[in-house]
Amino acid sequence: MKAPAFTTPQGLRLLLVRLQYSPAGTWQHDPDAEELMRFVTAKYAGLARKYDLPPEDAAVAAFEAMRTRAVRTAIDPWAVVTRAVQVTLIYDARAQGLLCSNHQARRTEISAHHDAERFCDHDQGLADYHPAFHVPAEQELHDWDDAPAPSVIEEPTNAWVAAEQAAHIMVDNGWPEASAHWCIEYVCGQVIRSGYRQTAYARLTRDHHAEALLDLSHPAWVGVLQALLGIDDPVLERTREGRGLLQLLMMGYLPAELSSLVCFADVFEATAPRHEGASHV
């Protein structure tokens, strides 16, 4: 039996050119087109089975390739079709393993992953065999024999200790004890409610109620706030004046070395209420 003309490169080219420039629907009704599709289904069936795919997938890939201009103008149209079918089947198989589309499987960052695995494919549970879940217990990571004994000196300063130390520094520089503790508690309370030091500072500078209770003028009240919370200036951000007394104490500075600093001592001495009474607390 004589082989169809389209089995040769030139015969395939002529058939594809005729189908391309024929009226719409020629691929569905032309006898040669029907015979061509049966031929490619059989021709690439073995290639499809190599990638665990049905022959129909290879036929679809061949059909899509044969409708392109690259195949019609190629020196060997069948070679181009075969390569196109092979590449499509490769990525179809990868797409099935990766649970994604063919177009996504062609992307390097996607195809680099391994195929998806089902839990039921393994006799053991996921946590038993997957290395990502092999995390040693925390107590196994420590060498308890060489662990240093806890030291009170090395314990970090917490917020409550820093507030208490700040109040003592204010008392050392002339503030009445009750007024100093009330001032620190009030400022810290605003910081906790605001969440940010800058926000608390902005609110406190407009808080005339606190000024009245402490019997301070507005400039004196602002000076106390700057000493406690720091000066909001990018130039002074990493200086003692920019950080403020409370933050320095939280960072581990000792009260003794901060109490005599001019930037704090002068402010507290100048703003200290002269009398301690009901009006101050």
Task: Check whether residue 77 and residue 175 sit in a common domain.
Answer: no
Q: Determine what percent of the chain is predicted with pLDDT higher than 70.
A: 80
Query: When comparing pLDDT for 6 and 142, which is higher?
Result: 6
Is the backbone of residue 109 left (phi > 0), alpha (psi -120 to 50) or beta? alpha
Task: Check whether residue 163 and residue 249 sit in a common domain.
Answer: yes
Domain of 52 in residue numbering reads as: 5-111
Asked whether residue 15 is assigned to any structural domain, the reply reads: yes
pLDDT at 250: 85
At position 226, the amino acid (one-letter code) is: Q
- Total-model pTM: 0.43
Task: Check whether residue 193 and residue 89 sit in a common domain.
Answer: no
Asked whether residue 104 is assigned to any structural domain, the reply reads: yes
Asked whether residue 76 is assigned to any structural domain, the reply reads: yes
Rounded Cα distance between 213 and 170, Å, is 17
Asked whether residue 138 is assigned to any structural domain, the reply reads: no
Average per-residue pLDDT in the chain?
82
Residue 191 sits at the vertex; the CA angle it makes with 190 and 196, to the nearest 5 degrees, is 135
Torsion from C-alpha of 11, 16, 18, 19, nearest 10 degrees: 140
Task: Check whether residue 92 and residue 9 sit in a common domain.
Answer: yes
- Answer whether residue 280 shows pLDDT above 50: no
Asked whether residue 133 is assigned to any structural domain, the reply reads: no
Task: Check whether residue 92 and residue 16 sit in a common domain.
Answer: yes
Task: Check whether residue 77 and residue 172 sit in a common domain.
Answer: no
pLDDT at 83: 94
- Answer whether residue 278 shows pLDDT above 50: no
Q: pLDDT tens digits, residue range 19-77?
A: 998 888 888 889 999 999 999 999 999 999 998 999 999 999 999 999 999 999 999 99
Q: pLDDT tens digits, residue range 118-161?
A: 666 666 666 666 666 666 666 666 665 665 655 544 455 577 88
pLDDT at 32: 92
